[in-house]
Amino acid sequence: MFLTKRFLILLTATVVLTAMGVLWPIFYSIGTGAIVILLLAFLVDLFSVFSKDSDIECERIMSERFSNGDSNPITLVIKSLYSRPIDIKIIDEIPVEFQMRNFGLRTHILPKEEKKLIYNLIPQRRGEYLFEKIHLYVSSKWGLAERHFMEDTPARVKVFPSFLFIRNMELLSIENKTRECGIKQVRRIGSSTEFDQIKEYVIGDDYRMINWKATARKHQLMLNLYTDEQSQQVFNVIDKGRGMQHTFQDMSLLDYSINATLSLSYMVIQHRDNAGLITFERKVDSYIPASRKINQMELLMENLYKQSSTYIQSDYSTLYEWVRAKVNKRSLFIIYTTFDTNVSMERQLPYLRKLASNHVVLVVFFKDEELSAMAKKRPITDEEYFLHVTAENIEFEKRMIVKNLRRYGIQSLLCRPQDLRVNVINKYIDLKAHRVI
């Protein structure tokens, strides 16, 4: 049982009236009477929350997996056994990782009613989160006291790389509305060159595809059929080095890259290409061969969930040697990294050029939205001039990195972290349409 703020205010007022009796005796009698009335009212009001039929039940319903960086719903099902309407405050002991110290829900429940309350949580990093007890505070009829109920319902939930984005793409693709999540449709350039079969010519077929050797053997017009080139290898390569610990909107660049990797892998498999994974720092930490087998997405998700980093300086020479030894077929390598200056890029450029000599390389790095806004802002004070010039220099360095990479035939993508998933998917579709892979 807890005393409410209303009761404490009334009690303070009666005590003040009684104390004023030192100066004016009449207030002593008024204050004493007010205290007696308040205590009697409190005892009567207390009975309204401690009667025989007074009880309340609560259950927490949520998914066993949370999607990192996305809004995940949690449902609280509250059932009142009271014979009167009640006001209730609910405090759910959510995981400490969310740092929500003033979390609370309030609602009004009718007699014998069952009510559902839904709130959402957005995790910012992968791992295992622990939900603990649920506290419920039922107010008395006149609001002078609260009764405390507690549901001991501990639950553990694993936060995986963002899979809700994939689920949304699945639903939109059924209705052919993938553009609603930013994925564009690109017209393919040229015609397919992968042979499929030979069939008899019928009126309306493209006569340019006639197979004259087969026609001579069959003594009738025969036609070559071609299909889209498939089974291309696409590797998502995640640099887990020092720069990837930077955070935007409370989520690290490493987690943004992991979310984009999972989304792109799904799109690659949907296009009947093979999706693989490489993560590295000083050495290659994990390697999943490119494939589109049934359990490939589950394998990628489990591997990405376990990724961790010491954020040391990455070694691109090790990456190049590993790829040369393990990957023989020409593939697309999408490297998620961060280059702050042209000098840091040129340090790794020899290995990127060697990799690009046998494969298609797409380097993905990040744009700082705050710096971009600072560079566009008109400075007034000396401090603002200093910040403005610094931001402009960094923006210029980023543009120079893109230009220098393209000079050596290396694809590049510079985008905001929050736009990474959609932009990477669109870039992949664009490369497919232009027969780069």
Provide the 10 A C-beta neighbour count for residue 404.
Answer: 15
User: Tens-digit pLDDT profile for the chain (437 aa)?
Assistant: 788 888 888 889 888 888 888 888 888 888 888 889 988 988 888 888 887 778 898 999 999 999 998 899 999 999 998 888 899 999 999 999 888 888 889 999 998 899 999 999 999 889 899 999 999 999 988 888 889 999 998 999 999 998 888 777 665 554 555 555 566 665 554 445 566 688 888 887 887 888 888 888 888 888 888 765 567 899 999 999 988 988 888 899 999 999 999 999 999 998 889 999 999 999 999 999 999 998 999 999 999 999 988 888 899 999 999 999 999 899 999 999 988 788 888 899 999 999 999 999 999 988 877 777 777 788 888 888 888 888 888 888 888 898 899 888 899 999 989 899 999 999 998 888 887 77
CB 1 within 8 A of CB 46: yes
**Alpha-carbon distance 175 to 92, whole Å?**
38
Contacts of 266 (CB under 8 A, 6+ apart): 166, 169, 275, 297
Residue 97: name the closest of 126, 63, 133, 67 by CA. 126
Amino acid at 91: I
Paired tokens of 106: 């309030």
Say how many C-beta atoms besides its own lie within 10 A of residue 224's C-beta. Answer: 15
Cα–Cα distance measured from residue 391 to residue 249, given in angstroms and rounded to the nearest whole number: 19
AA identity, residue 378: R
| Dihedral in degrees, nearest 10, Cα atoms 6, 12, 13, 18 | 150
End-to-end CA distance of the chain: give it in Å, rounded: 69
pTM for the full predicted model: 0.77
